Amino acid sequence: MLAVDTGVVEEWLSEFKTLPEASISKYATNLKDKTALISSLYKVIQEPQSELLEPVCHQLFEFYRSGEEQLLRFTLQFLPELMWCYLAVSASRDLQSSGCIEALLLGVYNLEIVDKEGHNKVLSFTIPSLSKPSVYHEPSSIGSMALTEGALSQHGLSRVVYSGPHPQREMLTAQNRFEVLTFLLLCYNAALSYMPAMSLQSLCQISSRICVCGYPRQQVRKYKGVNSRIPVSSEFMVQMLTGIYYAL
């Protein structure tokens, strides 16, 4: 990591600590345009042994729990890179070097599973029915004798799927790791339209790495960092593919 990147990050760390309460909103609005800072923060996250990693993770968590929406999104943009670094370190079984990243991921997760009153959230998703028109189709244009409007209307009841409540976690284990990471990726995907291009590129890159690490086709790819396979859950894969689809 270059000295200029270190200087930019150190200035950012000290700047927020001395910021008056009345200036936080304006500071948060301008933060997204500081491309040099954002690039330097990515470099810090990508170096697990960096001395700046712990204070950076701490400040990103402070941003997230501040309640300021722009600061929350600023932290959220680094979520794919943080998850990749955690998975890469887990694959190498050197979990001690990812302690601050794990703490940040857990902190964001535990904040997101509760509402402002501290009650556990239950997310609901309505599954659309083919018998109802949408931006993608008209029931009458499906064109199958087996799927007439009359037949479809018999199956027209909307289905609502619920997610949650999710339990609080004090640490990441092999058993709960992908439950937490999947929920975090769901939160990231919900804010995908606000994410800058660098964050979307990071999402696509880490997804590509997960899919090639440890497989023969990795030999023809540029990425050589992790050589062992990184198993993921099917739920995590669904969220990853959802994010890639909308990012592209």
Average pLDDT by consecutive 10-residue portion of the chain (248 residues)?
A: 82 88 88 92 90 94 92 96 91 71 94 81 72 72 55 57 77 90 94 94 93 81 79 93 92
Instruction: Calculate the alpha carbon distances from 151 to 139, 154, 225 in Å.
Output: 10, 5, 54
Instruction: Show contacts of 24-31: CB within 8 Å, 24+ apart.
Output: 24/66, 24/68, 24/71, 25/68, 25/70, 28/68, 28/69, 28/70, 28/71, 28/74, 29/70, 31/70, 31/71, 31/74
Gyration radius of the chain's alpha carbons: 21
Last residue of a domain, one of 162, 185, 217: 162
Give pLDDT, residue 164: 65
Whole-angstrom distance, CA of residue 128 vs CA of residue 44: 43
Whether residues 139 and 39 share a domain: the answer is: no
Instruction: Calculate the alpha carbon distances from 41 to 81, 126, 175 in Å.
Output: 10, 38, 30
Give pLDDT, residue 143: 57
Total structural domains in the chain?
2
Residue type, 227: N
Whether residues 23 and 111 share a domain: the answer is: yes
Give pLDDT, residue 145: 47
The model's pTM is: 0.82
Give pLDDT, residue 217: 77
Give pLDDT, residue 197: 94
Whether residues 40 and 156 share a domain: the answer is: no
Residue type, 188: Y
Give pLDDT, residue 109: 94
Whether residues 157 and 184 share a domain: the answer is: no
Whether residues 74 and 146 share a domain: the answer is: no
Give pLDDT, residue 218: 76
Whether residues 153 and 170 share a domain: the answer is: no
Other CB atoms within a 10 A radius of the CB of residue 158 amount to: 10
Whole-angstrom distance, CA of residue 9 vs CA of residue 5: 6
What domain range is 131 assigned to?
123-162
Whether residues 182 and 78 share a domain: the answer is: yes
Whether residues 132 and 215 share a domain: the answer is: no
Give pLDDT, residue 157: 55
Whether residues 99 and 127 share a domain: the answer is: no
